[in-house]
């Protein structure tokens, strides 16, 4: 059994990047120090910030909120926001909210909640049913394209989180994206040759567009494996089950491939995202047209956007039309 590098107690983990053995106490301290370093190096959070943490009940956001609370205690204003996207199978959304509420109660942090059904008149269960029809059902729309549940869910969450932050004067939105998430997204955007999205990748998404709140990712350089172990040893209660709709996500396969590469080429994900930030991102950002950098207001909802009509409003309108059509077609057979 390996011994902790700092105290010679039995090690509970080998750090993925350098295989450094650490005991429980020094591992927890090590993760805290790395998060602090990322926050300081990229100026993610300052003493004057009002921070909104996007809380889902999963290990990443539960860990993020716990660490931020431990680092800042009550030195800065922190609140959490839970977006109920409406996933009924296995009581996923209901249980997620309960876990999030329990943590906020324990940390004495205010928890806000938005139900997308109240805002959209449909939820992710509805979108999932629509996807079944469009993927292969008899009423599949000719030329139609279903982007996948995770894509729509992510878009809805980003929109409502940003809107809530704007309306309530938050200066930063903190999300629990980890190193494994970011490497997966970066690789997916590379496969799609999406230079605009790649140019915005990083520990922070700074923006001068009024109505778009800066997003920060304090866990940016922490492997998912480390977060799993941290949540276990720090006794952070979280929902261990995954959303039933996430299994069809294209990013799932990319993530599994990266994990295999990491198995025989240690540090691949870390160095990929780090070197991208240092060498490629500045060049890519220069390729984005000034028009897309200019400040705009969505013609439909009035929120900040890089386009005339934001992606949320375009997607919402398209889904509403498809849901109405699908409902009418089903009624024809009844």
Number of domains in the chain: 1
Q: How far apart are CA 16 and CA 31, in angstroms?
A: 12
C-beta separation of 24 from 73 below 8 A: no
- Note whether residue 1 is domain-resident: no
**Residue 250, H or E segment:** helix 250-264
Residue at 300 is within a domain: no
Residue 295 lies inside a defined structural domain of this protein: no
Residue 138: the pLDDT is: 43
Task: Supply the CATH number for residue 245's domain.
Answer: 3.40.50.620
pLDDT band with cut points at 50, 70 and 90 for residue 287: low
**What's the confidence (pLDDT) of residue 145?**
64
The verdict on residue 307 lying in a domain is no
> For residues 7 and 17, what is the distance between their CA atoms, to the nearest angstrom?
20
Average pLDDT over residues 308-321: 91
Q: 23-27, 32-36, 238-242: which range is least confident on average?
A: 238-242
- Separation of alpha carbons 190 and 180, rounded Å: 15
Q: Whole domain around residue 227: which residue ranges?
A: 13-283
Q: Is residue 320 part of a domain?
A: no
Distance of CA 275 to the CA centre of its chain: 21
Cα separation, 127 vs 27, in Å, equals 41
**pTM as predicted:** 0.90
3-state secondary structure string across 43-79: CCCCCCCEEEEECCCCHHHHHHHHHHHHHHCCCCEEE
In a domain, 170, yes or no: yes
pLDDT per position as a tens digit, 111-134 = 999 999 999 999 999 999 888 887
Closest CA to 296 of 314, 309, 283, 281: 309
| Residue given tokens 């375009």 in the structure block | 314
3-state DSSP call for residue 185?
A: helix
């Amino acid at each position: 059994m390996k011994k902790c590098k700092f105290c010679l107690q039995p090690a509970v983990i080998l750090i993925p990047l350098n295989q450094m053995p650490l005991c429980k106490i020094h591992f927890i301290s090590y993760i805290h120090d790395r998060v602090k370093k990322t926050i300081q190096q990229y100026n993610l959070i300052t003493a004057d910030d009002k921070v909104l943490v996007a809380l889902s009940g999963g290990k990443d956001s539960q860990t993020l909120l716990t660490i931020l609370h431990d680092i800042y205690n009550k030195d800065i204003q922190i609140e959490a926001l839970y977006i109920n996207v409406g996933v009924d199978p296995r009581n996923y959304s209901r249980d997620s909210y309960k876990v999030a509420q329990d943590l906020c109660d324990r940390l004495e942090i205010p928890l806000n909640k938005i139900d997308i059904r109240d805002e959209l008149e449909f939820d992710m269960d509805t979108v999932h049913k629509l996807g079944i029809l469009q993927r292969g059902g008899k009423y599949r729309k000719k030329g139609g394209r279903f982007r996948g549940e995770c894509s729509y869910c992510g878009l809805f969450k980003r929109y409502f989180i940003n809107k809530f932050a704007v309306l309530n004067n938050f200066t930063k939105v903190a999300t629990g994206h980890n190193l494994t998430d970011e490497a997966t997204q970066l690789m997916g955007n590379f496969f799609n040759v999406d230079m605009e999205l790649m140019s915005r990748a990083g520990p922070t998404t700074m923006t001068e567009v009024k109505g778009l709140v800066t997003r920060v990712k304090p866990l940016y350089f922490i492997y998912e494996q480390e977060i799993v172990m941290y949540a276990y040893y720090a006794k952070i209660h979280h929902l261990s089950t995954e959303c039933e709709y996430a299994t069809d996500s294209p990013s799932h396969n990319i993530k599994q491939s990266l994990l295999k590469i990491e198995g025989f080429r240690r540090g691949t994900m870390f160095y990929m995202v780090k070197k991208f930030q240092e060498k490629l991102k500045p060049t890519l950002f220069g390729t984005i047209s000034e028009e897309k950098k200019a400040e705009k207001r969505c013609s439909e909802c009035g929120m900040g956007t890089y386009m005339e009509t934001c992606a949320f409003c375009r997607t919402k309108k398209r889904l509403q039309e498809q849901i109405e059509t699908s409902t009418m077609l089903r009624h024809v057979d009844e």
